[in-house]
Amino acid sequence: MRKHLITTTLASALISAALVTPAQADVTFVSWGGAYTMSQQKAYADTYTGGKVNFVNYNGGLGEIRTQVESGNVTWDIVDVLPHEARVGCDEGLFEELPRDVFTPAPDGTSMDEDVMVEVPNDCVVPQIFWSYVPFYQKGAFDGNAAGDPKTIEDFFDVEKFPGKRGIHTWGNALVEMALMADGVAPEDVYSVLDTPEGMDRAFAKLDTIKDHAVFWSSGAKPLELVTSGEVSMALAYNGRVGAAILAEDAPFVINWDGQVLEEEWIVMIKGTPNADEALKFMIHASAPEQQAGQAKWITYAPMRKSGIDIIEAGEPWYNTGVNIMPLMPNAPAALSHRYVFADPSWWADNGDSISERFTAWSGQ
Amino acid sequence: MSTEDTFVRFKEVQKSYDGETLVVKNLNLDIERGEFVTMLGPSGSGKTTCLMMLAGFEPATHGEIYLGDRPINAVPPHKRGIGMVFQNYALFPHMTVNENLAFPLEVRKLSKSEIATRTKRALDMVQLGAFGDRRPAQLSGGQQQRVAVARALVFDPDLVLMDEPLGALDKQLREQMQYEIKHIHESLGVTVVYVTHDQSEALTMSNRIAVFDDGVIQQLAPPSDLYERPENAFVAQFIGENNRLMGSVEAIDGKECQVKIDNGEVIRALKVNVDGVGQRATLSLRPERVEVNPEPGKFPNVFDAKVEELIYLGDHIRTRASVCGHDDFIVKIPNASHHASLNEGDTVKFGWSMEDCRALDVSGIH
Amino acid sequence: MAANNATSVEPLLTADGTPLKTSLQRSLRRSKLRATALVLPPLLFLIGLFVLPIGNLLTRSTDDTLINHQLPLTFAMLGQWDRQELPDESLFEAIFLDLTSLNKYLIKDNFATAVDPDDPAWKIQIPKKGPYRDAMIEIAPHWKDAKTWLLIYEIAITAAEATGTEREIKHQQKRAQFKICSMLTPLTNATCSKLYKVLNEWDGVSEPDEALFEALYKDLASANKYLLGKSSTRMNYEKPGFKSLIKKSGRKLKKVNEPPYKEAMIKADKRWGDIGFWHALLAMQKPQTSGYYLNAVDRKWDENREVVMQPEERQVYVMLWWRTFLVSLIVTVGCLLLAYPVAHLLATLPLKYSNLLMICVLMPFWTSLLVRIVAWMIMLQQEGVVNDTLVMLGLPDEHRLPMMYNFTGTIIVMIQILLPFMILPIYSVMKTIPPSYMKAAQNLGAPPSLAFLRVYMPQTLPGIGAGVILVFIVAIGYYITPELVGGKDGRLIGNMVAYHMQKSLNWGLAAAMGSILLAGILILYWIYDKIVGIDNMKLG
């Protein structure tokens, strides 16, 4: 009995020791799971010859990362983060700051940071993709409608001319920007208008117009089901989800690029990881234009680097099934010919919490 | 045999649970007012089912049960006004003793003061006056038993049913409670139907005992009759101890018959329950009615016996011997100076009278 | 006296002459030791996974020390401000120094002592490009002494001598860099890599030279940056916009070298001229704050340190508390109503049927939560099975019942998920109630309904109590299910805790809400104990 006890204690001690220093230097890549992780696996890990990459799923946020870093028990190496987390985590010292000159420049010699379509916020982040919130509907949903099919972001907010319910998410991001654009604010003025209390009220007043027609969703697959089942006539969704349904299942969805709000997605390295060297090597590989473009073979999220987009355009039909992918890329020239906003993470860093509260209060009334 | 005073009456009652076998087969039983009747029998004999039908918890499959002259088949249990003591007392654990006793009075909407008086009277009757505020779990088994009896009587029912109420008590307490219940019955004059499988309990308390087996009343008689004059082999076997000798009837002569047992010896016995000459019969003989080395000519039945085993039991010596080809023949020899002392291996003579040896049927033997 | 006789008796001895008591103790010691050894692991487990986290939760919910370390001068001088008008130059100077120069707390290493704004050491600006040594010694003379450095020196050389594989050594060295920083700063996530390197080149005895001070300055400066990042997050809770204000100021104020600072700061960002930001600072002035708790009930400090309501459009938590309470209550009552008859059936049916029923009850436990939720969506949504059936039965198509993505959906799905938690304890109690009680009650004259109410139900109370407490406690913390099926009504207090834990990183507010939940549950427990008695609860 006692002997058994001792062996158990020993075993658990060994296990915890093993947790502190992993035996082999595999890189652990933490991402969102599903088709997205699969695309990263195919585009980055499968083309990587420098070692093994393990994928782990998480639900976003910095909570787990903060716990790992502060406890000194770091088991993740690279994490795929949203724009807000990319900034806060770097500011608070949760991510490693990376040398910038080691990353692969564009074929024309432009440095990586210059090649990214938005300003690189700090030295912690390495470009991943753009994704966007877009309105979409099912072909035929508006047959016989006097005003025809919806085309613009105004139409999304107009339940008179375009009847039916609207599927929207349960948080405020992108909704306030879209509301202002639908209310006639020029995309480049959206954040300066939102910075004033009147502008904020104006956005929520516009949201009021669809509140009674809103069906709220919180998981990315939901809006597709809502539109397919006819429960709503139009919904906002992540563009990649809609694109995947169109490409993989021939779903008869129509995306309206007008009014889309594009969000950044970065990868970062957790501070204090014992695999820093291996992780950096892999990040250099994953951020190179070839790999950036390669991801779009598997999912309709767009490379952040201009040179990546160029590779795709030149290589069409680019998607793995042999169809054109550019019509589904949120930052393709065609999509960007409509109104759009690049979500401003520093504005959201200031106002995210208050919008979250206000949005909850608004939707709860 | 129904009389003016019949209080409970089972008329051609049958009960089946599964529609294939009868648990109670054509039961007819009349119980007089103020009587203490015990239903005695092995488990599965149908006695508890009868009690449950009387209490109203099981419907009779066929036949009718009367209480007084009222048929009660359609009366739900709570309207029958019958008191009952359950096997494990079924005292409500979340109520105090007083609340338990008050329960039947409260549902009858008696006044508060009336309830208090009656509760106290009932508790005093079972000598538990000081325990009214306790919960059942704080009482000993015997005390719980008394509370259960008090509760069954507190609303003055004319009929009280008791379902093996003493089964959970130890032997000494059980005997004490037997007397107490008997005295309560005598002093209140209430009619009691009592179910047990313990024959000494039945013999101690009852006016009459109904011996159940296989869904049928084998014999209904006062205790002494049951022991002295069993009417069939089952009753003889079930009540007290008896030696059984199997054989076939050779001749019948009035109330006497001669039975040739299987080793060829012929025994003269009292004809009680035999079908006729040539038929099989069981001879039943109580161990205390056998005499060792009787004076010649005193008994018509005298046989050689070889003493196999002696067991000293204080007041008597239990002797096992081989007689007439049976080596499990038991004789009780009183431990008195004038009785011969035997040794194992001795060969002696056993003798008994014709009246003590009852010729019975063979069917009741399992 | 008679009483003395008893005590003056000789102590009892065993056969070999040792006192009986000693002998008994000796024989019991082994079994006591074994009992302790058996209890120890679960006890440690309990402390590690229950007591410590709850303690941490309570501490976090009131802790505001970090921000006080970040703005020492500002907070020391804030008390002198009249709060009516924009602060004068002296306060601007204080915050300028706090934001732009290396935090003096980090050098002075006197987290406990109060800041004296008149002490010139607090205003010394260390030149960005050095020399560092003299300025730092002037601020905190103890750095001059080699002994001050010994503690971190030990850490550095121990790690440098680490053995093992190359990876292990590297890992040890990295941890040492974290450890040095956590000795010098309140941060556990800063790395003192420069100090590590220089300390290893030092002999540990000679007077600390410029190289050591340069490394110290640079490592502290990088930690200071993280402190500032964290502080600005904290400040942003009080006033949206603070985060970008601090960040922007940090960049722009680099060029400002001399007073007047007030003008320069307002020029750098006009928000410094907004008195609201200054008022917001007041709320963070004390190292222990009840601000998170106030925030959790839609209140806050105003500039006069009086509790006021949050602006109307931000009032959300009180509504969520009520909604959470209401949902839990309805779910608990619903579960009770559904579970009671099922549990009764389970307890009274013949074994072969009750086993089958038990499997049905337990089935949800074997199915993934998400699968069950999706099944409910298919059933209840507007184009779902239930509505289709109703339409087929004659319900007009435009009057399809909204049963999903709203309050109704939340309630239905939560009841289904939590039902077993109610059934099982009630069942386990009912199972022990012999049917003879009901018979006895009827026999005593009570009609079945009364017998049930007065005799059967009171005996099932322990099970009801356990089930109700269990379901209520689980329901009150639920958030994933409500969010998936509740649409806009699916946001409960648990969602906000998760949001602040994972997304906004406002752990203080999350901890405050968690503590309120905990307190609420303890109060319920206490009420239950008063009414029913805790020994009357039977969990199975």
User: Does B87 contact chain C (CB < 8 Å)?
Assistant: yes
Q: How far is CA C367 from the centre of its chain?
A: 30
Give the distance from residue B84's alpha carbon to the nearest chain C alpha carbon, in angstroms: 7
User: 122-161 in A: which are within 8 Å (CB) of C?
Assistant: none
Are C505 and A217 a contacting pair at CB < 8 A?
A: no
Q: At C536, is the pLDDT very low, low, confident or very high (cuts 50, 70, 90)? A: low
Chains B, C: CB contacts within 8 A come to 66
CATH entry, B6-233, from 3.90.1300.10, 3.40.50.300, 3.40.30.10, 3.90.1010.10: 3.40.50.300
Domain ranges of chain A: 2-130+264-332, 131-262+338-364
Q: Which two tokens stand for residue C240?
A: 């949206």
Single-letter amino acid code for the residue at B109: K
| B100-104, C112-116, C134-138 — most confident range | B100-104
Q: What would the mean pLDDT of B142-164 be, rounded to a whole number?
A: 92
Q: What letters, b where the CB count within 10 A reaches 16 and e where it falls short, cover B176-215?
A: ebbebbeebbeeeebbbbbbbbebebbbbbbbbbbbbbbb
Query: What is the architecture of the domain spanning A131-262+338-364?
Result: 3-Layer(aba) Sandwich (3.40)
Tens digits of residue pLDDT in A91-124: 989 999 999 999 999 999 999 999 999 999 999 9
B81 touches chain C (CB under 8 A): yes
For C169-195, what is each residue's pLDDT tens digit?
888 888 899 999 988 888 888 889 999
The distance of B77 to chain C (nearest Cα, Å) reads 6
The answer to whether the CB atoms of A88 and C167 lie below 8 A apart is no
Give contacts of C454 with chain B, Cβ < 8 Å.
103
Confidence grade of residue B316 (pLDDT, cut at 50, 70, 90): confident
CA separation for the pair B316, B332 (Å, rounded): 6
* Predicted pLDDT of residue C411: 93
Q: Where in chain B is the domain with CATH 2.40.50.100?
A: 234-360
For chain C, domains (ranges, CATH) are: 66-286 (no CATH), 317-536 (1.10.3720.10)
Read off φ and ψ for residue C337, nearest 5 degrees. Answer: -65, -40
What are the distances in angstroms from CA C195 to CA A270, A271, B327?
21, 18, 105
What is the pLDDT, as a whole number, of residue A188? 95
Shortest Cα–Cα distance, C464 to chain B (Å):
15
Give the span between the Cα atoms of C335 and C414, in whole angstroms: 9
Give the strand pairing for A260-269 and A78-81.
antiparallel
- Report helix angle A197-211 to A345-364, nearest 10: 50
The residues that bridge with B244 in the sheet, in sequence order, are B284
The verdict on ipTM greater than 0.85 is no
pLDDT in tens, C513-529: 999 999 998 998 888 88
pLDDT at site A23: 47
Place of tokens 């019975």: B360
CATH of domain A2-130+264-332: 3.40.190.10
Q: Scan residues 218-237 of A and list those with Cβ closer than 8 Å to C.
A: 218-219, 225, 229-231
pLDDT at site A119: 92
User: CATH 3.40.50.300 spans which residues of chain B?
Assistant: 6-233
The answer to whether residue B357 scores a pLDDT higher than 80 is yes
| Partner-chain contact C240 A69, CB within 8 Å | no
Cβ pair A360:C320 closer than 8 A: yes
Q: Does the pLDDT at position C370 exceed 60?
A: yes
Q: In sequence order, what E strands does chain A have? A: 27-31, 53-57, 78-81, 126-138, 166-169, 214-217, 234-238, 253-255, 260-269, 302-303, 340-342
Sign of the C-alpha dihedral computed for residues C107, C113, C116 and C120 taken in this order: negative
CATH number of B234-360: 2.40.50.100
- Give residue for tokens 């009032």: C315
Q: Is the pLDDT of residue C143 over 60?
A: yes
C407-459 confidence digits (pLDDT tens): 888 999 999 999 999 999 999 999 999 989 999 999 999 999 999 999 999 99
Which of A63, A272, A351 lies closest to C240 in CB terms?
Answer: A351
How far apart CA C345 and CA C331 sit, in angstroms, is 21
Which residue's structure tokens are 């993470």? A345
Give the one of A72, A93, A231 whose C-beta lies nearest to C175's C-beta: A72
Tell me whether residues C440 and B90 touch, CB distance under 8 A.
yes
- Asked if B247 has any chain C CB less than 8 Å from its own CB, the reply is no
- Spell out which residues of chain C touch residue B84, defining contact as CB-CB under 8 Å: 439-440, 443
Give chain B's largest Cα–Cα span.
76
Chain B residues within an 8 Å CB radius of C448: 76, 78
- Strands B208-213, B36-40: pairing is parallel
Of the candidates C230, C384, C496, the beta carbon closest to that of A92 is on C230
Is residue C2's pLDDT more than 50? no
**Alpha helix (H) residue ranges in A213-344:** 222-229, 239-249, 276-286, 289-295, 306-315, 333-336
pLDDT per residue of chain A (365 residues) written in tens, 0 to 9:
333 333 434 444 444 444 444 445 689 999 998 889 999 999 999 999 988 999 999 988 888 998 899 888 899 999 999 998 999 899 989 999 999 999 999 999 999 999 999 999 999 999 999 999 999 999 999 999 999 999 999 999 999 999 999 999 989 999 999 999 999 999 999 999 999 999 999 999 999 999 999 988 888 888 999 999 888 999 999 999 999 999 988 999 999 999 999 999 999 999 989 889 999 999 999 999 999 999 999 999 999 999 999 999 999 899 998 899 999 999 988 999 999 999 999 899 889 888 988 998 898 76
Kindly determine whether residue B94 and residue C459, on different chains, have CB atoms separated by under 8 Å.
yes
